[in-house]
Amino acid sequence: MTVYEPVIGLEVHAQLLTATKLFCGCSVMVGSDPNQNVCPVCLGLPGSLPVGNRRAVELGVRAALALSCTIQNSSVFARKNYFYPDLPKGYQISQFEQPFSTEGWLEIELEGTTRRAQIQRVHLEEDAGKNVHAAGSESLVDLNRAGTPLIEIVGAPDLRSSAEAAAYLRALREILMFIGSNDGNLEEGSFRCDANVSIRPLGSTTLGTRTELKNINSFRYVQRAIDVEIARQTAILNAGGEVEQQTRSFDPESGQTRPMRSKADAHDYRYFPEPDLPPLVIDAELVRGEQAKVGELPLAMRRRWVSELGLSPAAAATLTQHPEYARFFHEVCARFAQPVKVANWIQTEVLRDTTSHGLSASFPVSVEQVAELLGLVEAGKISGAQAKKIHAALVGTQRSPTELLQELGLSVVSDAGELRPLCQQVLDQNPKNVAAYRSGKRALLGFFVGQVMKQSGGRANPELVSRLLTELLGPVEGS
């Protein structure tokens, strides 16, 4: 049997975070009643003329710069002609031969290695509407999304596994969210992916016939769909058949891809320059302004946190999953300058009850509360266990951790005279473990400390308890 190599290229459609559509003043707000956010321009009525949205251009340029693309001084909009119920004009305004940016790259991390995936182009285009398939044979059309501003990010066919494809999408989504161009909302369709998949004999440089998997809005489904499609194409070729170029959908319930239509090539769309729009001229000042707004990207941020702040790679990855997580971490560190302890606390306590939607996140406690609480632990006024109890009481309030500490009576006991009898009591209750410790099993000290902490309700100072127990236990054989 022939061994095949997958060849995968991704086309990502990302909605730009504007208030209005790409070529008219209609709102892009999600959740409106069907066909409310429409006008003669996005309905394609005769005589209506498009006018470009400067904010969309700015956000598109910012995204292209973050992906190391070359910005073209002049680019041209084109009409992409096809007939579908949700495309009222009978064509989509996009860019074809002269996009506004070309030749970029995206760094992806997978299983401890980093590689660059090439990006062929980033171009501007308007979205289509939405077909709503009702019960029975009836279908309805909602044109609220028609004209919504998108960038299409066209990746080169140089991904070689479904895992690489998922890593590519995660890295791309992170970047677009951190720079504020896109909200990364897969469920609402503002970040969606088409995957071009083909296979070829291992070692060959000739591309095989590709199929396009359309509008997949889940990283997990992307991986599954690509794996299923690779297996389907492999079975066809091994049986002596030929893969047909077509567009396919993925059904997550059945775990199968299904044909939608024959895949069109560029000439089938009869592209030609949009006569109602002049060339898009992007001047150097706009480029400089957007470059300044790109800021530190998530991958660079992770590397810096690991090398300079001492965070673990896993902690750095968690805290860069969302720009608000990174902001929260940074602001706590500005008030309590121990990044590792801050990162651990945010991961284990804060993020457990944090919710996010798009670029916003709702935290259960404030930056100030977390910094003050960690300061109390650092000063030895409370233990880690007590800090967790105070954290739970802080959730959803504006109260001070110090105030709650006094109210709940959770201060740490650091009086040796009070703790020594408790330590002795624990030793008296565990004579066999005492004998084992004295015979050389030093690790049992941790057991004794745990018992004292338990009997003190977590209030005992663990360092003092350890020192007192060591004194009471006396010498160990062989020491």
Q: What is the CATH number of the domain that holds 430?
A: 1.10.10.410
> Do 211 and 340 belong to one domain?
no
Sign of the CA dihedral running 62, 63, 66, 69: negative
> Considering only 27-31, 321-325, 453-457, which range has the smallest mean pLDDT?
453-457
pLDDT > 90? residue 62: yes
Position 192 in a domain: yes
pLDDT at site 448:
92
Comparing 309-318, 365-374, 377-386, the range with the smallest average pLDDT is 377-386
- For the chain, how many residues are written? 479
pLDDT for residue 262: 75
- pLDDT > 90 in the chain, percent: 74
Whole-number pLDDT of residue 459: 77
Is residue 15, in this structure, part of any structural domain at all? yes
Pick from 265-274, 341-350, 384-393, 422-431: least confident: 265-274
Q: Give the C-alpha separation, 373 to 417, whole Å.
A: 27
Residue 383's pLDDT band (cuts 50, 70, 90): confident
One domain, residues 403 and 462: no
Q: Tell me the two tokens of residue 426.
A: 């624990």
- Across residues 244-253, what is the average pLDDT? 90
The pLDDT of 394-404, averaged and rounded, is 92
Q: What is the DSSP string of 331-366?
A: HHHHHS--HHHHHHHIIIIIGGG-EEETTEEE-SS-
* Same structural domain, 341 and 255: no
For the cut 70, the answer to whether the pLDDT of residue 264 exceeds it is no
- Paired residues of 361 in beta bridges: 356
111 and 258 inside one domain:
yes
Q: Is 424 exposed, middle or buried (0-12, 13-18, 19+ CB in 10 A)?
A: middle
Mean of pLDDT values over 53-67: 98
Average confidence (pLDDT) over 56-72 = 98
Indicate the pLDDT class of residue 478, thresholds 50, 70 and 90.
low
% of the chain with per-residue pLDDT over 70:
98
> What does pTM read for this prediction?
0.86
Torsion of CA 434, 437, 438, 441, to 10 degrees: 160
Quote the pLDDT of residue 58.
98
Question: Which pLDDT value is given to residue 266?
Answer: 62
Q: How far is the C-alpha of 140 from the C-alpha of 131, rounded, in Å?
A: 6
332/178 Cα distance (integer angstroms): 19
**Per the domain annotation, does 453 fall within a domain?**
yes
pLDDT band at 217 (very low <50, low <70, confident <90, very high): confident
pLDDT digits (tens, 9 = 90+) for 123-164: 999 999 998 887 777 889 999 999 999 999 999 999 999 999
12 and 127 fall within a common domain: yes
Query: Domain total for the chain?
Result: 3
Q: Are 120 and 249 found together in one domain?
A: yes
**pLDDT tens-digit series, residues 441-464:** 888 999 999 998 888 877 788 888
Where a domain ends, among 390, 408, 426?
408
**Residue 301 pLDDT > 70, yes or no?**
yes
Regarding whether 469 and 346 lie in a shared domain, the answer is no
Residue that the structure tokens 């902001």 belong to = 327
| Lowest mean pLDDT across 126-130, 196-200, 284-288, 461-465 | 461-465
Domain boundaries, position 455 = 416-473
Checking if the pLDDT of 70 tops 90, the result is yes
Q: Is residue 138 part of a domain?
A: yes
Q: Which of 102-111, 184-193, 358-367, 449-458 has the lowest mean pLDDT?
A: 449-458
Residue 183: what pLDDT? 95
Q: How confident is the model at residue 265 (pLDDT cuts 50, 70, 90)?
A: low
Between CA 266 and CA 245 the distance in angstroms is 13
Predicted pLDDT of residue 252: 85
Pairing of strands 211-216, 246-251: parallel
Kindly report which listed range (96-105, 252-261, 292-301, 389-398) carries the lowest average pLDDT score: 252-261
Gap between the Cα atoms of 323 and 319, Å rounded: 8
Residues 131 and 34 in one domain: yes
pLDDT of the residue at 463: 82
Shared domain for 282 and 301, answered yes or no, is no
Domain co-membership, 211 together with 359? no
The confidence score (pLDDT) of residue 164 equals 96
Mean of the per-residue pLDDT values for the chain?
92
279 and 373 fall within a common domain: no
| Residue 281 forms part of a structural domain | yes
Last residue of a domain, one of 267, 287, 307: 287
Residue 479 in any domain: the answer is: no
In a domain, 18, yes or no: yes
Distance CA 67, CA 118 (A): 9
- Tell which of 381, 408, 435 closes a domain: 408
Query: What is the C-alpha to C-alpha distance for residues 13 and 217, in angstroms, rounded to an integer?
Result: 10
Please spell the DSSP secondary structure of 57-101, one letter per residue: HHHHHHHHHHTTPEEPSEE-EEEEE---TT-TTSEEEEE-SS-SE
Beta-bridge mates of residue 110: 113
Same domain, 307 and 437: no
Give mean pLDDT, residues 175-202. 94
pLDDT of residue 78: 97
